[in-house]
Amino acid sequence: MRSEHRVTSVRSQERGTAASATAVAHPNIALIKYWGKHDERLVIPRTDSLSLTLDIFPTTTRVQLAPEAQHDAVTLDGVPLRGEAQRRVIAFLELVRERAGSLQRAVVDTENTVPTGAGLASSASGFAALAVAASAAYGLDLDATALSRLARRGSGSASRSVFGGFALWHAGSATATAAEADLGSYAEPVPVGDIDPALVIAVVNAGPKSVSSREAMRRTVDTSPLYEAWAVSSKDDLNEMRAALHRVDLDAVGEIAERNALGMHATMLAARPAVRYFAPATLTVLDRVQQLRREGTPAYATMDAGPNVKVLCHRQDAGRVAEAVRGAVPDGTVLIAGPGPAARLLHEDGP
Ligand code: PMV
């Protein structure tokens, strides 16, 4: 498996500031989940998490400084962003400006290749691409670790999309000062040997989620009697998964991923009021995955803050797994993804 772990940054401008910069990043799927924050403002999670960056659905973001403008202008697929989505991007730009000592507004244009509403985490690729493009445009010379910390502030899972392949996000210390907590919470690549995974993605419902992951996490941490137990067992899951990756045991990786995800959903079901992302079709796919295993094909499910199911399997089995899953969701969309690359700068233009 090949993955790029460095974010390419070539800067030649005298002032160190580019008039514009364009970056690309891919979504990631967590195999050990991030669920629950210690600090909402800094986005410090309660547990470590581990993910696989995908090779499909890149997000491309261009940040162009606009010295004359009074406001930031943000579009997604050519349409101006409004409301909470717009607020999050502008808050992120404020963070970059504060660090760069700049007051200049920006024009931010993002193109998502995820089919609209496909239910794949576009905030991870979105904020990873924005972190790379905005930091270059504003002249911050950040290494991949610093970019991961920065991307985290936009969306926790974005910290992992800075890297290709498998990535581990260290939660950092809850008892530290704000500055120390920020420094300690970043992702890094997990080197693995000759492993050839695929994720078969079953989009069972492309509609917007009923409860945002932010709200669902908060409610789970505050009210679910199962949360602490999952957080404790997730530590063991992570250690076991690292060992399984080290010995290139994809079946063990899958087993651990499935139990970690089901445990996360159990914490939500026990929240008050309950958060339930499963749809009937979600269970149909989970049944089909169990059936595949009974028939001798290793396949393991994971689900995020939505009804869609991602099935981890060996690359050579991906076609068969996709066929089986397609049969379970005739109205859904089924896609096959492999390990994808790190976020990177495509180009920057001088002032
Ligand atoms: O980064 P957020 O705030 O979109 O949260 C992502 C949460 C999960 O997708 C459910 C789990 C994960 O680790 O990606």
In-domain check, residue 8:
no
Residue 273 preceded by cis peptide, ω within 30: yes
Ligand 1 centre distance from Cα of residue 157 (Å):
5
In-domain check, residue 342:
no
Mutate to test the pocket of ligand 1, among 54, 127, 304 (most ligand atoms within 8 A of CB): 304
Mutate to test the pocket of ligand 1, among 46, 152, 157 (most ligand atoms within 8 A of CB): 157
Q: What is the CATH number of the domain that holds 227?
A: 3.30.70.890
191 φ/ψ angles, rounded to the nearest 5 degrees = -70, 130
Share of the chain above pLDDT 90, in %: 83
Ligand 1 centre distance from Cα of residue 13 (Å):
36
Helices vs. strands in the chain: H and E counts, helices first:
10, 16
**Global pTM?**
0.93
At CA 202, angle to CA 201 and CA 203, rounded to 5?
Answer: 110
In-domain check, residue 313:
yes
Q: Do residues 185 and 245 both lie within one domain?
A: no
In-domain check, residue 4:
no
Q: Is the pLDDT of residue 287 over 90?
A: yes
Q: Which residues line ligand 1 (CB under 6 A)?
A: 30, 33-35, 49, 121, 123, 155-157, 213-214, 304-305
Alpha carbon distance 144, 245 (integer Å) = 22
175 burial type by CB count under 10 A (0-12 exposed, 13-18 middle, 19+ buried): exposed
What pLDDT is stored for residue 208 in this prediction?
Answer: 66
Residue-wise pLDDT for 201-225, tens only, equals 999 876 667 788 899 999 999 999 9
Length of the chain: 351
Q: Do residues 174 and 274 both lie within one domain?
A: no
> Last residue of some domain: 192, 215, 234?
192
Ligand 1 centre distance from Cα of residue 7 (Å):
22
Q: What is the CATH number of the domain that holds 37?
A: 3.30.230.10
User: b or e along 59-69 (b: 16 or more beta carbons within 10 Å of the residue's beta carbon)?
Assistant: bbbbbbbbeee
User: b or e along 285-312 (b: 16 or more beta carbons within 10 Å of the residue's beta carbon)?
Assistant: bbebbeebeeeeebbbbbbbbbbbbbbb
Q: Is the pLDDT of residue 63 over 80?
A: yes
In-domain check, residue 103:
yes
Q: Is the pLDDT of residue 16 over 60?
A: no
Ligand 1 centre distance from Cα of residue 304 (Å):
7
Residue-wise pLDDT for 132-157, tens only, equals 999 999 999 999 999 999 999 999 99
In-domain check, residue 226:
yes
Q: Do residues 159 and 224 both lie within one domain?
A: no
Mutate to test the pocket of ligand 1, among 32, 34, 282 (most ligand atoms within 8 A of CB): 34
Helices (H), 155-226: 158-161, 178-184, 213-223
174 three-class SS: coil
Residue-wise pLDDT for 106-121, tens only, equals 999 999 887 544 456 6
> Last residue of some domain: 169, 192, 215?
192
Q: Do residues 139 and 263 both lie within one domain?
A: no
Closest CA to 37 of 180, 177, 172: 172
Q: Do residues 207 and 277 both lie within one domain?
A: yes
**Residue 323: half-sphere exposure toward Cβ, Cα within 13 Å:** 6
Alpha carbon distance 107, 71 (integer Å) = 9
Q: Do residues 39 and 53 both lie within one domain?
A: yes
What pLDDT is stored for residue 114 in this prediction?
Answer: 74
> Last residue of some domain: 192, 214, 235?
192
Q: Do residues 173 and 257 both lie within one domain?
A: no
Q: Do residues 125 and 257 both lie within one domain?
A: no
Ligand 1 centre distance from Cα of residue 155 (Å):
8
Domain that holds residue 123: 16-192
Q: How many domains does the chain have?
A: 2
Q: Do residues 168 and 34 both lie within one domain?
A: yes
Q: Do residues 105 and 164 both lie within one domain?
A: yes
In-domain check, residue 176:
yes
Closest ligand 1 atom, CA of 29?
14
Q: Do residues 171 and 211 both lie within one domain?
A: no
